[in-house]
Amino acid sequence: MQIGDSIKGIKITKEGKREQKQAVFLTDPQKAIELDHPVRRAIIQILSRGIPDRITVQSTDPLTNELALERVRIERDILSVTEIVRMSEEHLDILTITRNQVNHHLQKMIDEEFLIHFGTLTTGKRTTDYYRRVAKQYVITMETPNLGEDFLRKRETGRLQRTLGLFNIELSKEEINELIEIRVKLELMQDKWRTKIAGMIQNDVTDPEITDTYHWMLEAYSIGSDEYLKLFRRFREILFGEMEDE
């Protein structure tokens, strides 16, 4: 656990002393909807990226046997309300949020077990509370009709635009629209199976490989569907055309 020199001396809560989970799988539609709020998404993203800080590392010179101190830069993922607001202003791709907005959602997100009150730092007569995510990653395994096809279409449109911008692939407007609709259909098909696969996972997720394995298992299950494979092959055909396999 990297506390950071700027909050050295913080009094850690019982919850803060527990090891942070690697991932949490959301199988309850209501929980996913509670997290799918612009201010809450911003808070979650900011806490994930952290804030620049430094830690002092002590080492011994092997030749002189003298102690040496080195300050190492880290990204601290334990932030105060003031820091959350400040980082929202610095990240251009994250919604800028106010102190009132953070305070409005903070306790609710703690009650819903998305965040924890990590600890309190006392400086003179002033106390500052710090917060951290319950998990490093949240994986929504619910059925997305609760979020809606419009949500999926908007998300897949953005993903496809970013992807095509990275590769030398020229497509017509009609082909791009077809790709988007195929991705929406594939996602909706997989949503029917997400909870089934997530239900196979036992206890809390603490192994970093579990998240990747979950997606691999879901994909392995999906290719058992003829309709899924047909759509996926069409997706491949539009993207790569007559490109030969090697």
* 5-133 topology per CATH: Arc Repressor Mutant, subunit A (1.10.10)
Total-model pTM? 0.70
Helix (H, G, I), strand (E, B) or coil at 193: helix
Q: If we measure between CA atoms, which residue out of 153, 163, 45 comes closest to residue 93?
A: 45
Q: Are 214 and 197 in contact (CB under 8 A)?
A: yes
Q: Where are the domains of the chain?
A: 5-133, 142-240
Is it true that 5-133 and 142-240 share their CATH fold? no
Average pLDDT, the chain: 88
> Residues 125-144: what's their mean pLDDT?
86
At residue 119 the predicted structure's pLDDT band, cuts being 50, 70 and 90, is very high
Structure confidence by residue, pLDDT tens digits, 99-109: 999 999 999 99
Structure confidence by residue, pLDDT tens digits, 171-213: 999 999 999 999 999 988 988 888 788 878 776 665 667 777 8
Number of H helices and E strands in the chain, helices first, is: 8, 7
Q: What CATH number has the domain spanning 142-240?
A: 1.10.20
